[in-house]
Amino acid sequence: MKKVLARVVAFSAIAVLAWSQPVLSQQATDALAPEAATGQQAKTSVRARQSIVVAANPLAAEAGLAVLRDGGSAADALVVVQTVLGLVEPQSSGIGGGAFLVWYDAGTGKVTTIDGRETAPMAATPELFIGDNGKPMEFFDAVVGGRSVGTPGVVRLMENIHDLHGTKEWSALFEPAARMAETGFTVSPRLAALVDEDAPLLSAQTSTRAYFFDASGTPLQQGAVLRNPTYAATLRTIGAEGADAFYEGPIAEEIVAAVQGHPDNPGKLSLEDLANYEAKERDAVCASYRGVDVCGMGPPSSGALAIGQILGILSEFDLAGLGPEDPQGWRLIGDATRLAFADRGRYVADGDFVDIPKGLLNPDYLKSRAALLKRPDALPAEAAKAGDPPWDKAELRLDGVSLEVPSTSHFVIVDAEGNLASMTSSIENGFGARLMTGGFLLNNQLTDFSFVPQQNSEAVANRVEPGKRPRSSMSPTIVLREGKPIFALGSPGGSNIIPYVAQALIGLIDWNMNISQAFAMPHFSNRFGRYDLEAGTAAAEMADDLEALGYEVRTTDLNSGLHGVAFLPDGTLEGGADPRREGVAVGD
């Protein structure tokens, strides 16, 4: 155990805190270096006095900070960060996708959320992903093309938050990304590697082949300068005419033509779907844990409910006493996660379409779930099933599984007034549907629905329905103590987002780690019974211990992208970025 603890501490080495400089060019350079994504050492945390941006690419983070320095709000910087990310990290998020935002208003002390999740076309049916043979389609057969494209929500979300809290002119916020698209940006190691890895699918589509490959068919190389004047024109149109210019008119017509006109796998998205799209403001879902409130996005995201359940179950146990080196602690965390995922699979979907049990976070219910873990070894498979929470007119649904493939991006912004944005944004799979129009990639978020809509004539909660939003694991989170934020964080990673964020919260709250230590900590993930352990870390060294407790164990890559901010007692801000990716924190 001492050897494991030593490796945990080494892997999560205490970061040297430093005041950020006005321009963090060296930090940006370091973040883009190939070794920055190895995940073997915590990145240096960044301290700021009044404002901070943490994002997955230094170009996006610095563009957002420039807006804050010019007196802009977190809502203004959000628009800039997202539009730059769509250019420099197009495989993960962009205006062709969706997002969830958790917002803290410093003036009112209120936490709210905005749901910018994609919607299924009104012409879609529950059998959308059933093939001609009557069986569910293979994943990539469904993904590539128009069939998987949902109505994008990011642009409408950006408009909503800007209307509520923006201070800068809307049109000006699109200029940083537009100028960068015109003049070009340097292709990062991560983007180049992912294009090369996805070359068979990207090169098979005319629009992505033209953008991500040169005339000889060679994929983008690290260090190349990539320009996207078409994206610049799209952004300037939205800037000049508002979000309606995305949802109606030539941009919308091009989206629909690309989706419906795909030669092999056309989709159902229509002009009416785009014109009728709404980003929805919803109440935050909050759970109490060790004297703090952990707040996040409710359905159609399963993130806040699942994390709240995990933490609620674990509140019955002394994780601080066990520490990160004890296999029994990971047994508890893993089985609490399994129980949360069992409830998630049966009950959680778009709450506008499915009545969800109101008691999933009921303290008595979570105590009953915690009682299942008061044993010395792994929870048997037959016991790791969905529970029976207080109903309040909820509908019983069959368990359903949907495949969420890691991509996505998370960023956190704090402005000088103390307003806070924690936003997870995605086009779902890397490079989405592999369809490009208007200089941006279209999402494949509809594959987050269950491919199998029913069993024995009974409905699966997360089946496709017209206008419905697919269930997500995206977990933008804000943690408050006595009504004031103390942490904000989130991650990409498909359904692994939930254990990534839950584990980081345990590191911060139970194990007193700083933000960079918590994000660099080796990953342990048990969603459905098998324990996945991050290769090359102290987690893998615990394989024998976890097998002895009764788990099937797999060592694998667990490529999170945790980004977040801690609000320190002295009034300063501490930003941290996951060492596994190219993200960076910048601030003043």
Note the helical H segments in 152-302.
Answer: 154-165, 175-183, 189-197, 199-203, 206-212, 229-241, 244-247, 250-260, 271-275
Q: Give pLDDT tens digits for 149-205.
A: 999 999 999 999 999 999 999 999 999 999 999 999 999 999 999 999 999 999 999
Q: Give pLDDT tens digits for 57-103.
A: 999 999 999 999 999 999 999 999 999 999 999 999 999 999 999 99
Yes or no: say if 406 and 72 are a contact pair by the CB < 8 Å rule: no
36 or 276, which is more confident?
A: 276
Q: Give pLDDT tens digits for 104-155.
A: 999 999 999 999 999 999 999 999 999 999 999 999 999 999 999 999 999 9
Cβ neighbours for 109, distance < 8 A, ≥ 6 positions apart: 483, 484
pLDDT score for 392: 53
pLDDT score for 458: 80
Strand order in the sheet with 573-577: 18-19, 46-48, 573-577, 563-567, 484-490, 477-481, 292-296, 285-289
Query: Given a cut of 60, is residue 371 above it in pLDDT?
Result: yes
Q: Give pLDDT tens digits for 530-549.
A: 999 999 999 999 999 999 99
Q: Give pLDDT tens digits for 432-450.
A: 999 999 999 999 999 999 9
Residue ranges for the binding site for L-glutamate? 117, 448, 472-473, 494
Q: Give pLDDT tens digits for 315-366.
A: 999 999 999 999 999 999 999 999 999 999 999 999 999 989 989 999 999 9
Secondary structure element (H or E) that encloses residue 128, with its range: none
Yes or no: say if 396 and 386 are a contact pair by the CB < 8 Å rule: no
Q: Mean of the pLDDT values across residues 300-313? A: 98
Name the percent of the chain lying above pLDDT 90. Answer: 87
Confidence of residue 44 (pLDDT cuts 50, 70, 90): confident
Query: Given a cut of 90, is residue 241 above it in pLDDT?
Result: yes
Task: Measure the CA–CA gap between 34 and 301, rounded to whole angstroms.
Answer: 33
Query: Given a cut of 70, is residue 395 above it in pLDDT?
Result: no
Active site residues: 408
Cβ neighbours for 37, distance < 8 A, ≥ 6 positions apart: 189, 190, 579, 580, 581, 582
Query: Given a cut of 50, is residue 11 above it in pLDDT?
Result: no
pLDDT score for 83: 98
pLDDT score for 393: 46
pLDDT score for 457: 74
pLDDT score for 64: 98
pLDDT score for 454: 84
Yes or no: say if 436 and 208 are a contact pair by the CB < 8 Å rule: yes
Quickly tell me which residue has 């939205």 as its tokens: 238
Query: Given a cut of 90, is residue 240 above it in pLDDT?
Result: yes
Secondary structure element (H or E) that encloses residue 293, with its range: strand 292-296
3-state secondary structure (DSSP) of residue 573: strand
pLDDT score for 397: 53
Strand order in the sheet with 524-525: 524-525, 531-534, 553-556
pLDDT score for 527: 97
Confidence of residue 430 (pLDDT cuts 50, 70, 90): very high
pTM: 0.92
Instruction: Give the alpha-carbon dihedral of 54, 60, 63, 68, to 10 degrees.
Output: -30
Name the percent of the chain lying above pLDDT 70. Answer: 90
> How much is the mean pLDDT over the chain?
91
Note the helical H segments in 303-390.
Answer: 303-314, 319-322, 327-347, 363-371
Q: Is the peptide bond before 324 cis (omega within 30 degrees of 0)?
A: no
Query: Given a cut of 50, is residue 409 above it in pLDDT?
Result: yes
Confidence of residue 36 (pLDDT cuts 50, 70, 90): very low
Q: Mean of the pLDDT values across residues 239-245? A: 98
DSSP letters spanning 56-104: SSHHHHHHHHHHHHTT--HHHHHHHHHHHHHHHSTTT--TTSEEEEEEE
